[in-house]
Amino acid sequence: MRRARVVVVGAGVVGLSSAVCVAEALPFCSVTLLAEKFSPHTTSDGAAGILFPAEFPGTRNLFKLFLKTIILHPLFFLLFSSWQIFKDASADKKPFWSELVIGFRFMTDSELKRFPDHKFGQAFTTIKCECSSYLPWLEKRFRRAGGQVEQRKANSLQELSNSYDVIVNCSGLGSKLLVGDNELHPIRGQVLKVEAPWLHHFIKDADRKTYIYPGMHCVTIGGTRQEGDWRLEVDEGDTKSILERFERAGGLCSYGLWVR
């Protein structure tokens, strides 16, 4: 009997995770991972990888499972304590995920003193995924499970249906072309990577544009959220504006950071 042929399109964190699950769960299928770009050239490689539980069915169990899993993979998943700070006092102070993350509490007045423009803050511990190490490891695991890898751009899912019985679409923004999903749009994020191994806590402004995320290899300081902007190249104006934002907020030194 012919083996069922499965193709997973996309080698970001979603595609690689899906490909590993299919290849390991269905060893009697032939599984191909097809992508135009692989690590370190996917959006997933650039992500800070912080897990904030989002509201969708199953979130609670999924987040609990993640917390158990990170113990098994200390090279890719870390627990990070953080402050999320708000300028707007009317924001949802105790969100549904406060029961899922570890040790949720409101920031104390003395902690908030460091951020004079902000009205309140949340302190908690959550998970960070180190995608730049995690993706190559997932790819190795996929190959070990017998998966095949093909690097090329697909022009449509229709074109793939001649060669495969099942198509798993994990193409991220590529779905705009692949399935003609016109509701998809990019949100461009530019960040700076700096060396500061002494930093272990992240700070995130609820504006979602300003943050410091320490990681295993470097600290990410951000950023931008530019809706509808497809540019991939570095914008020097954005670099300047990120640095200026931190200067206005007390200077990078107040966060334990220096630009060399």
Ligand X SMILES: Cc1cc2nc3c(=O)[nH]c(=O)nc-3n(C[C@H](O)[C@H](O)[C@H](O)COP(=O)(O)OP(=O)(O)OC[C@H]3O[C@@H](n4cnc5c(N)ncnc54)[C@H](O)[C@@H]3O)c2cc1C
Report the interface residues with ligand X, using CB under 6 A.
9-15, 34-37, 42-44, 46-50, 153-154, 170-174, 177-178, 189, 191, 223
Which residue number, 160 or 249, has a Cβ lying nearer to ligand X? 160
In angstroms, give the least distance from the CB of 14 to ligand X: 3
Which residue number, 119 or 240, has a Cβ lying nearer to ligand X? 240
Q: 150, 34 in Cβ contact below 8 A? A: yes
Which residue number, 24 or 229, has a Cβ lying nearer to ligand X? 229
Which residue number, 112 or 149, has a Cβ lying nearer to ligand X? 149
Q: 121, 202 in Cβ contact below 8 A? A: no
In angstroms, give the least distance from the CB of 152 to ligand X: 7
Q: Which residues lie closer than 8 Å to 48 by C-beta, 6 or more apart?
A: 128, 191, 211, 213, 215, 220, 222
In angstroms, give the least distance from the CB of 155 to ligand X: 7
Which residue's beta carbon is nearest to the bound ligand X? 174
**Residue 86 β-bridge partners:** 120
202 sits in which H/E element? strand 201-205
Which candidate, 134, 132, 143, 129, places its Cα nearest to that of 19? 143
In angstroms, give the least distance from the CB of 170 to ligand X: 6
Helix or strand or coil: residue 237? helix
